Amino acid sequence: MRRSPPPPARRSRLAVVGRPSGTPTRWAIVGSLAVSACLVAGVAPEPAGAARGDGTSRAVWSWPVAPPHPVVRPFAAPEHAWSPGHRGIDIGAAPGTPVTAPDDGVVRFAGTVVDRPVLSITHADGVVSSLEPVTSDLSSGEAVSRGSTVGIVVAGHSSDADAVHLGARIDGEYVSPLLMLGGGRPSVLLPTRPIG
């Protein structure tokens, strides 16, 4: 008697949002809601980091402005790519504040989008950071180092508070920059039935 093959494993939409099946990723895309909930509740999220050779860990990115780093508006993932949302975090920073590169990379874009100066940097593994409103003397194609000054915050991001907006994209998909800054850890999906 032939046994029928097991049904294909169902992928949860929560596992990888908006990714083509089979696309490898080093980063988990889920977890931003938990981080946002921690921020709203005033609870410090559990730190995350990349392992170093000495067994300790560090955040994948460094903060783009000097401490303190008040997140005045958290990441709010859109329901769909075209839906409203807040595709980054706003970090309290006065105009004139120096902005540093969150990690090593190459300037992807430095210029004005609509009415706002924007700086985007391509990092390893398909990760792109974007900072606005930030004026910069850098040009597309220039290499930058983690922590090096890349621009200056200017006024105009929000009428509520002076801030710099930090966005993060992995292979074109927006994720919470807090995952890169050590402000949360990716969610882990547990099996719905016993394994084995």
Decide: pTM greater than 0.75.
no
What pLDDT shows up at residue 141?
Answer: 97
CATH code of the domain covering residue 103 = 2.70.70.10
Amino acid 161: pLDDT? 80
Q: Tokens 């595709």: give the residue.
A: 87
Write down the pLDDT at residue 168.
93
Give the count of domains, the chain: 1
Give CA–CA dist 134/148, Å, rounded: 14
- How much is the pLDDT for 189? 58
The answer to whether residue 24 sits within a structural domain is no
Say what the pLDDT of residue 172 is.
87
CA count, 13 A, side-chain hemisphere, 105: 29
Tell me, what's the pLDDT at 7? 45
pLDDT single digits (tens) 16-74: 333 333 333 333 333 433 344 344 433 334 344 444 444 444 458 999 999 998 999 89
Domain that holds residue 91: 32-179
> Is 110 within the bounds of a domain?
yes
Residues 105, 128: Cα–Cα separation, whole Å = 9
Q: Tell whether 112 is covered by a domain.
A: yes
What digits encode the pLDDT tens for the residues 130-173?
A: 999 999 999 999 999 999 999 999 997 666 789 999 999 998 88
42 domain residue, yes or no: yes
Structural domain contains residue 154:
yes
| Cα atoms found within 13 Å of the Cα of residue 67, Cβ hemisphere only | 1
pLDDT of the residue at 159: 64
41 within domain boundaries = yes
Can you tell me the distance from the alpha carbon of 172 to that of 174, in angstroms, rounded to the nearest whole number? 7
Residue 196 lies in a domain: no
Q: Is residue 193 part of a domain?
A: no
Handedness of CA 145, 138, 172, 33 (dihedral sign): positive
